[in-house]
Structure 1
């Protein structure tokens, strides 16, 4: 088995209907310029429009690199805790057992497809959503399932995970916004003081 390099990113900033905003398009262009310096083999994206549009922008800057949908990257809640942290009770209000089971199935499909070494050295971009990036990081760190709740992710922030045979995954970058100027950072987060 060889190293699989995963570049997991949240889509660019989008409006309430899922269309990229001007900010989201600019964020994605800057991310694409950063990714263009890497030996990318494939770009996979969620089926949701904000991820599709982000993947189209990135694909245009990576000539010859295949861009395709991966349903495992769709936005979903990957884990509903049995014992609810008080701060999250309102968020999970209304989730039933069937929805929790479907989220767990999708989370398993996500890690089953992407979170392991590959037969040949690969560099893959995953255009997805904040919860899926958090789930991949939680999985790579072998943290308890509830820990995905504390991992937030900005629009077009870059998270890099390497999967090698015989050793645990390595999280090289998490939520890196170095390609974005100050005025394009911290979108996708709630209000608060930012470093």
Structure 2
């Protein structure tokens, strides 16, 4: 029996380019959410959890509209956050990112992700199919945790809006990264949210 964790980044936020901390989905974000819902429609989902932020909550609402059997619930453990500060082995190229991040934000983010890992990567009995609708940094931290890479490596992992990352764990085995940032369900014009454009 395998425990599957489906990590979905929220759909594109309306006016995200204007630097707003949160907001509703854009029309393109609504389409992205509908398509990832269709992608998951054949999976016997056990639970759906989402960040309380509006863009993630609305993505979960679209899933619930298209998959009536699911009942999404908010979790503060899935809030957008910065999981770490500068570590001794963090490349200097990343240092400017932390200029506007306070020590308090970093401490809170690190504690949040420790609790999130303890909650969502805990082994559960039976076949489980859990969906987490959250944010880029949170997904990157889960992947970094499963791969057991240095803490700063979350900064090198990016997921598209409504891209799909899947983790799996069989009894007696460690968690495995099954797929990362799968965008097969998204046409090219809907592949948003990455730091730079891709050639496909």
TM-score, shorter chain, exceeding 0.5 = yes
The aligned runs of 1:167-186 (5 Å cut-off) are: 167-185=173-191
Structure 2 counterpart of 1:140: 146
Count of residue pairs brought into register by the alignment: 193
| 1:190 aligned residue | 195
How many Å separate the matches in 1 of 2:62 and 2:151?
33
Pairwise CA distance, 1:138: 0.5
CA deviation string 1:6-35 (max 9, x = no partner): 000100011234210010000110110011
Structure-2 separation of matches of 1:123 and 1:116: 13
Residue 99 of structure 1 and its aligned partner are, at CA, apart by 2.1
What is the CA RMSD across the aligned residues, in angstroms? 1.4
| Alignment match of 1:53 (pick from 36, 54, 58) | 58
- The reply to whether residue 14 of structure 1 matches residue 42 of structure 2 is no
Per-residue CA distance 1:58-99 (angstroms, 9 max, x = gap): 011222222101110100011112234222111101333322
Gaps of 5+ in 2: none
Matched, 1:44 2:49: yes
Per-residue deviation, residues 83-122 of structure 1 (Å, max 9, x unmatched): 3422211110133332221111011011111113212321
Give SS of 1:93's match: helix
Q: 3-state SS of the aligned residue for 1:171?
A: strand
Structure 1 window deviating more from structure 2 (176-185 vs 160-169): it is 160-169
Q: What is the alpha-carbon distance in structure 1 between the residues aligned to residue 12 and residue 83 of structure 2? A: 21
Give the Å deviation of 1:128. Answer: 0.2
Query: Runs (4+) of structure 1 moved beyond 6 Å?
Result: none
| Residues 18-167 of structure 1 mapped to structure 2, 5 A cutoff | 18-83=23-88, 84-167=90-173
SS in 1 for 2:130: strand
* Structure 1 residue 124, shift from structure 2 partner: 0.8
CA distance in 2, matches of 1:167, 1:51: 31
Distance 1:78 1:86 in 2: 18
How far apart in 2 are the matches of 1:67 and 1:12? 16
**TM-score between both structures, scaled by the size of structure 2:** 0.91
